[in-house]
Amino acid sequence: MKLLLRLMQIREASIFLFILLFVGCIGLVNPAFTSGGSLGLILKSSMILLVLAVGQSFVLITANIDVSVGSTMGLSAAVCGMMLTHGVSGSLSVAAALLIGSCIGAANGLGVSFFRIPSIIMTLGTLGIVRGYMLFYTEGKWIEDIPFYFKKLSSAAFLGIQLPVWIGIIAAVMAYLFLTRSSVGRYFYAVGDNEAGARLIGLPVKSITVLAFTFSGLSASIAACLFVMNIGFVPNQTGTGIELQVIAAAVLGGVSLSGGQGSLFGAALGAIFLEVINNSLVFLKVPAYWNNAISGFLLLLIVTGDSRFQLWLQSNGKKKQQEQENMSRSKLPKSGEGGYEDKVVL
């Protein structure tokens, strides 16, 4: 029991246990949900949200927000799909998509850091511009006839793990190592925790902000390539509304909206948890029009429950620490017996 309580104090471990508990509960209702094939498909489909949540975490940690990731993903997917259908090689199409996503992210970062535009306003404007340009670029049509070799990549596997899952794992691990093992990575937390203080000690606050938004745009374009690979066509509404799920996944994973706190692995697990919730409704045979309402309710229930549980763990830990300190003091010699208090007086 003590081991379980200690594990629950670690955010990533608590989310992982919540996922296991949720999967177990749904599996009791419909055993097909816990089959290897179903869980593999859920994991594969969650990689798009996972990559987006990892990129969004960089922005949230710097106390900003990026609501343009959905439209960035949509335009990147449209460019990638359009180039593929015109016979351009897969590597060039992917490179063009990554470049576009990075440029959109960098433009957001420049607007926020150098022109002092609030991040919510800047990225809302970008959302509208990019979404409008995507419809102009595609003429409002779906992009179909993606080459078969590109679609087949989604089922390619190495060591039993499919390519989209490898891409998600590699992206999350590289981002984690950069954020936690490099001096530049730690600057993101410093900027988000206290921007004025970070500026006073000479940290490149503006550059870090631009870099955070660039990473977010880059992750949106990686997610776009995964989308084209997995789905095999590009609807003209690709990415619409996904920004709310991305932010919810990061917050569920413990990334603070006020900045300075959060773990990329937590955000990745939060994305997987959201995908598990969405897919569980299919196995529970819930009508599709209830999906958003039930997913939102479950998200609120889990976040509130987890928040209350973490507070209980903290108060319980402080109480035990206080009891241990009181017991230690009671064992010390009292005043007049050569104890600690006499030594202080002397």
Tens of pLDDT along the chain (346 residues)?
666 666 666 677 778 888 888 888 888 888 888 888 888 888 888 899 999 999 989 999 988 888 899 899 999 999 998 998 888 888 899 999 999 999 999 999 999 998 889 988 999 999 999 999 988 888 888 888 888 888 888 888 788 888 889 998 999 999 888 888 888 888 888 888 888 888 888 888 889 999 999 999 999 999 999 999 888 888 888 888 888 888 888 888 878 777 777 888 888 888 888 888 888 888 888 777 776 777 677 667 766 776 676 677 677 767 777 777 777 777 666 555 555 445 444 4
Q: Count CB-CB contacts under 10 A for residue 321.
A: 10
Contact by Cβ (8 Å): 117, 111: yes
Residue 157's H or E segment, with its range, is strand 157-158
Which one-letter DSSP state was computed for residue 154? Answer: G
Amino acid making up residue 171: A
Contact by Cβ (8 Å): 22, 273: yes
Contact by Cβ (8 Å): 280, 33: yes
* Torsion angle (degrees, nearest 10) of CA 46, 52, 55, 56: -110
Alpha-carbon distance of 240 to 246, in angstroms, equals 12
Residue holding tokens 């413990």?
254
Contact by Cβ (8 Å): 252, 302: yes
What token pair was written down for 223? 């997610």
Per-residue pLDDT, 344: 45
Contact by Cβ (8 Å): 32, 283: yes
341 CA to centre of own chain: 53
Which one-letter DSSP state was computed for residue 238? Answer: T
